[in-house]
Structure 1
Amino acid sequence: MDRTVVLITGCSSGIGLHLATRLASDPSRSFKVYATFRDLSTQGPLWEAAESRGCPPGSLETLQLDVQDADSVAAARARVTEGCVDVLVCNAGRGLLGPLEVHSADAVGSVLDVNLVGTVRVLQAFLPDMKRRHSGRILVTGSMGGLMGIPFNDVYCASKFAIEGLCESLAIQLLPFGVHVSLIECGPVRTAFQEKFQMGRGVVLDNVDAQTRNLFSQYLRHSKQVFREQGQDPEEVAEVFLTAMRDPRPALRYFSSEGILPLVRLRLSDPSGCSYVAAMHRIGFSDKPAHGPDGAGTEAGAGTGGP
């Protein structure tokens, strides 16, 4: 039986690590997984997880792939021994947290380069073969930060909004090729991603006005509460990726949690944006769980900036 060849970017931790080992250890033994890393010295946790799951020999390989380096992407593609990738998972990402005025141009550029341009580099490398074969699936790790603005995540949201447009546009034009693009829209997920969020350790908030500093402090308290009480386990999110991979009629979007849907609906229902802005301000700067306009809890999506 031919195995489905899957290549995943960003596998050092979190969703990428859990998805790679979940697929490699699947009882069907129908997947060959290439887990990629910007820095191969960080692959230890993946192999520990693979051993604990009992991944069979030959089901999992690691490759160096830096989405910021087109040559690195091309080299990884060339090392896929099967000659083609059936499922491409664009998961590598970077965050940026804090008041907009404290971010350096380099920090802003780095986030956009990883999250948006890096995704484009990977797609450019693997799409031509999928189009030639009239077969392939592309799964992209989305975020509620690509569906709605989140305070103090301005640049991260900008990058993820751009990913939404990129994937939606591609999904339309790839229909005749039999290549399907799906976004896995993640709410708050308990991973190391939050710990890696860049605020710039050397940034001095003293230069920011007092009211903004106070709002940021409120945001941080609320965000920690949300992740503590509502954050999903990455194993749960990995199952959503698997569902998308196996769906005979792939959708453009899959949601890892229905908790963010009330705010998504609110944002779409009022084209002026006033209702959403007021609701998110009320929710994002509260120390208490908030509820959406339809009574559904939205605390799972309030004030969070990444999967």
Structure 2
Amino acid sequence: MKTIFITGASSGLGKATAKLFHEKGWNVIATMRTPEKETELSQLKNVTLLPLDVTNYEQIQSTVKKALELSDIDIVYNNAGYGLIGPLESLSDDQITKQLNTNLLGVIRVTNAFIPYFRERKSGLFISTTSIGGLIAFPLGSVYHATKWALEGWSESLAYELNPFGVNIKTVSPGGIKTEFLQGSLDTSSLPEYEAMTNSMFASVDTMFEMASTPEQIADVVYEAATDGKNQLRYVAGEDAKALYKQRLELGAETFRTEFGKQFLGA
């Protein structure tokens, strides 16, 4: 029986992925900040819950060690993350630091903790949830995009490094997901000077979220990436994300950026 280790498994995509892999007969190690609050995954056979706050370096080391004592691990799915939306000027240094710590350093540190194990085994796969926001940029998401674009470049470089050892790395880039993202896992901030822009942005995002995927639909793409055996780096997930990415490639980055700005900000 194969085993997947998942971060950010308490809700949304992480939870949907844990349930899907469980249904497909995998052993699942589902990690989250407060596993004692989890009532659904805790009922499932072959699903183990472990505590993991990806901003806590010591806990990453101890949880990875515990996970490897419990089971061989075939796939590490870096999914923990959240959105930070607002003009840069309005964000506190704490907000900026927390976003980088969670979305970027968390992924790098969890991955690094597993690399020696995979390298010695000469097999293994890292999958990271990036975002269509790792391939294109929306207004008012500069620090969020900094983390997601960084993960895309990091993954591409790391693939060169790890592939010779039989270890693979992939990214899944979802568009909108119908979860608590816009409510629960989103941190926002603004200033009066940006009010018109913020209102316009959120109105456009609401419209875009009508095309959003369910967590289960994106989990299917994660499963595909996990099992297709391809040496493919990027999996763009969701019809909305595919359409936007296609548009960017066809128009070219600069034309796309101009058109996209008009769509969001009317200018």
Task: Write the deviation string for residues 81-133 of structure 1: whole angstroms up to 9, x where unpaired.
Answer: 44432100000002111122110111011101111111111011111100111
Q: Please say if residues 97 and 199 of structure 1, whose CA atoms lie closer than 8 Å, have aligned partners that are also in contact.
A: yes
> Given the two structures, how large is their TM-score scaled by the length of structure 2?
0.92
Match of 2:233 in 1: 252
The alpha-carbon deviation at position 141 of structure 1 amounts to: 0.5
1:285 equivalenced with 2:245 (yes/no): no
Deviations 1:166-192 (A, max 9, x none): 101011111111111110110111112
2:137 is equivalent to residue 137 of structure 1: no
Is residue 117 of structure 1 aligned with residue 96 of structure 2? no
Q: Is the 8 A contact 1:144 1:260 kept in 2?
A: yes
- Calculate percent identity across the aligned residue pairs: 31
CA contact (8 A) 2:3 2:71 kept: no
TM-score by length of 1: 0.81
| 4+ long deviations beyond 6 Å | none
Q: Deviations over 1:213-248 (max 9, x none)?
A: 112101111211221x21101011111111111112
Which one has the largest radius of gyration? 1
Partners of 1:76 and 1:193 lie apart in 2 by 26
Once the two structures are superposed, the pairs formed by residues 179-190 of structure 1 within 5 Å of their partners are 179-190=167-178
User: 2:218 is matched with which residue?
Assistant: 237
The within-5 A match list for 1:157-176 is: 157-176=145-164
SS at match of 1:44: coil
Q: Displacement of 1:283 after TM fit?
A: 2.1
Kindly indicate whether residue 38 of structure 2 is the aligned counterpart of residue 43 of structure 1: yes
Identify which of 214, 226, 230 aligns with 2:196.
214
Structure with higher helix content: 2
Distance 2:241 2:218 in 1: 14
| 1:24 corresponds to | 22
Instruction: Name which of structure 1's ranges 81-90 and 125-134 shifts more when overlaid on structure 2.
Output: 81-90
Change (3 A) 1:285 1:41: farther
Shift of 1:66: 1.2
1:63 paired to 2:63? no
Query: Given the superposition, is the C-alpha separation of residues 224 and 258 from structure 1 closer, same or farther in structure 2, using an over 3 Å criterion?
Result: closer
Q: 1:164 to 1:111 in 2, by over 3 A?
A: same
CA contact (8 A) 2:211 2:239 kept: no
1:225 matches 2:213: no
Aligned equivalents of 1:45 and 1:193: distance in 2?
20
Which letter does structure 1 place at the counterpart of 2:38?
A: Q
Deviation at 1:265, TM superposition (A): 4.2
Q: Note the alpha carbon deviations across 1:245-300, whole angstroms, 9 max, x for none.
A: 111223101121243344434444566x43022111122236xxxxxxxxxxxxxx
Match of 2:114 in 1: 126
Q: Point out where structure 2 has 5 or more consecutive residues left out of the alignment.
A: none
Aligned to 2:186: 197
Give the secondary-structure state (helix, strand or coil) at the position aligned to 2:230. coil
- In 1, Cα distance between the equivalents of 2:177 and 2:265? 20
Q: For residues 36-71 of structure 1, what are the alpha-carbon distances to aligned partners after superposition, in whole Å with 9 as ceiling and x for unaligned?
A: 012224423544xxx5xxx4x2x1010001111121
Q: For structure 1, list consecutive stretches of 5 or more residues without a partner in the other structure.
A: 287-307
- Note the alpha carbon deviations across 1:127-182, whole angstroms, 9 max, x for none: 11001110001111010110011111111011100000110101111111111111
Whole-angstrom distance in 1 between the partners of 2:164 and 2:125: 13
- Residue 301 of structure 1: aligned partner: none
Q: In structure 1, give the amino acid aligned to 2:129.
A: T
